[in-house]
Structure 1
Amino acid sequence: MSATNVDGIAGWAIDLMETLGAPGAGVAIALENLFPPLPSEVILPLAGFTASKGNMTLFDAILWTTLGSVIGALALYGIGALLGRERVVAIAAKLPLISVSDIEKTEAWFARHGKKTVFFGRMIPIFRSLISIPAGVERMPISIFTLLTTLGSLIWNTAFVMAGYLLGENWSLVEDYAGILSKAVLGIVVLAVVIFIVVRLMDRRKGKHHA
C-alpha cells in the first residue's frame, strides 16, 4: 500500500501512517477534530486497513486514534474556555439574527443535556468537533469532559477501525456509507438553520408591525 496509489486526503493519511506508524493515525484524527472537513470516515477505516496489512497492530490503531480524538477535542475545549461567555455574547450581539437570549437558551439547554451531548456527539459527523467549544465556554469539568469524550470517541473509532480492518482492500465501502450519513446530518443542520432564520425574521417583522 502506497500513498502514490491513492489521491487526496486518503493518500495524505496513508503517507502519514506509513511515516509515523500508529501515532500518525492519531495525528490525523487530532487534526480532523480541529478541521472538520478532514473526514474521520476516511482516516479511521484506513487505520484499520493499515493494521490488517501488519503496519501497526489493531490495538495501537484504536488506541492512537482515540488519543488523537481526545487531544483534538481538548484543544477546542481550550478555545471555548479562552473565549469565555462574555466574548461569545459580545460576538453574538454583533451578528445578524442572533440575540443574547439565544445564547442564554443555549446555556440553559447545555446545562441540562451537556453530558449526553458530549458523549453522543462524538458519534455524529461534524457535530463531534463543534460540541467541544460550548463545553469549554460553559467550563464543563474537564475530567468529566475528557472521560465522556474518551468513551464516545472509543466507540466511534473502534467501529470504523474494525470495519476497515475486516474489509481490507474494500475499506472505501465504509467511506461510501458514512458519507450518506454525513450528508443526512448536514442536511438536518442546514434545515434547522434555515428554520431558525425564517422564524427570527418573522418575529422581527411582527415587532415592527406592533411598533
Structure 2
Amino acid sequence: MLDWITNTITALNYWGIALLMFLENIIPPIPSELIMPLAGFTVTQGKLTFWGVIVAGTTGSMLGALPWYYVSLKVGEHQLKKWVDRYGGWVTLTNEDIKKSQDWFKKYGGGVVLFGRLIPGIRTLISIPAGLQKMPFLEFFGYSLIGSLCWNLLLTYAGFVLGKNYKLVDKFLGPVTIVVLGGLVLLFIFWLVQRKKQRKRQ
C-alpha cells in the first residue's frame, strides 16, 4: 500500500494526491493518514508546495465525498443496504458501518459531518447518513469542506514537521485527533449559544 501511494504521488504530483484522496473517500482501507503526511514530507524535499498539497488533497476529498452522498440520497436506505449485502465487500462496506454512521448523525445532527471528517473510520462513511437523511447539499458541502480542510492541514503539517518519520503520524494521530475534535466541539457549542442569543434578541 505504502509503495503504491508513494509511486502515485511521485508520478502524478498534485494530481496523484487528489486521486488518492478521492479514492480514500470511496474505499475506506486507503488511508489518508499515510497519503497526506507523505505529501507533507514531499514538500520538505522541494518537489511540491505546502498549499498546493492542501488544495489537491482537499479537492480530492470533496470529490470523493459526493458519490456516497448522492447514491444514498437517490436510492434510499433499503436499496442501499440491499446493495451493500451483495457488493459491499468490494469496498469493505457493511450494513453495520451504515448503522454506525446513521447513529452518529442522529445523535449529533448535521454538524457531525464536519466532526466526522476528522475521525478515522467515520470520515469516509459520513456522507451516507447525510444522503439518507436528505441533508441539504450546500450544508453538506460546507461542513465537508471545513472538516476535510482541517484534516488535511493537520496531516500535511505533521508530515512536513516529522520529515522522513512521517509514518509516525498514524501512531500519534489518536490523541491529536481527540484534542482537535474537542476544540471544534467547543467552538460549535459556542456558535450555537451565540445563535440562540441572537434569536432571542430578534
TM over 0.5: yes
Partner of 1:166: 161
CA offset at residue 18 of structure 1? 1.2
CA offset at residue 68 of structure 1? 0.9
> CA RMSD, aligned part only?
2.7
Structure 1 position 146 matched with structure 2 position 146 = no
Structure 1 position 119 matched with structure 2 position 114 = yes
Partner of 2:70: 78
1:62 to 54, 57, 60: 54
Q: In the alignment, residue 138 of structure 1 is paired with which amino acid?
A: Q
Structure 1 position 177 matched with structure 2 position 169 = no
Q: Indicate if the aligned counterparts of 2:36 and 2:159 stay in contact, CA closer than 8 A.
A: yes
Partner of 2:38: 46
Q: Indicate if the aligned counterparts of 2:110 and 2:130 stay in contact, CA closer than 8 A.
A: no
Q: Distance in 2 between matches of 1:166 and 1:110?
A: 34
Partner of 1:19: 11
Q: Distance in 2 between matches of 1:149 and 1:36?
A: 16
Q: In the alignment, residue 119 of structure 2 is paired with which amino acid?
A: I
Q: Distance in 2 between matches of 1:91 and 1:38?
A: 21
Q: Distance in 2 between matches of 1:67 and 1:136?
A: 20
Q: Indicate if the aligned counterparts of 1:29 and 1:65 stay in contact, CA closer than 8 A.
A: yes
Q: Distance in 2 between matches of 1:180 and 1:13?
A: 25
135 and 166 in structure 1: CA distance in 2 versus 1, 3 angstrom threshold: same
Deviates more, 1:129-138 or 1:119-128: 129-138
**TM-score, normalised by the number of residues in structure 1:** 0.69
Q: In the alignment, residue 55 of structure 1 is paired with which amino acid?
A: K
Structure 1 position 37 matched with structure 2 position 32 = no
CA offset at residue 176 of structure 1? 2.3
* Structure 1 gaps, min length 5: 1-8, 93-97, 183-211
Q: Distance in 1 between matches of 2:121 and 2:71?
A: 17
Q: Secondary structure at the match of 2:119?
A: coil
* Structure 1 consecutive aligned stretches of length 4 or more whose deviation exceeds 6 Å: 89-92, 179-182
Partner of 2:185: none
Q: Distance in 1 between matches of 2:5 and 2:113?
A: 26
134 and 155 in structure 1: CA distance in 2 versus 1, 3 angstrom threshold: same
Q: Indicate if the aligned counterparts of 2:22 and 2:61 stay in contact, CA closer than 8 A.
A: yes
* Structure 2 gaps, min length 5: 85-94, 178-202
Q: In the alignment, residue 155 of structure 1 is paired with which amino acid?
A: C
Q: Distance in 2 between matches of 1:179 and 1:112?
A: 22
Partner of 2:91: none
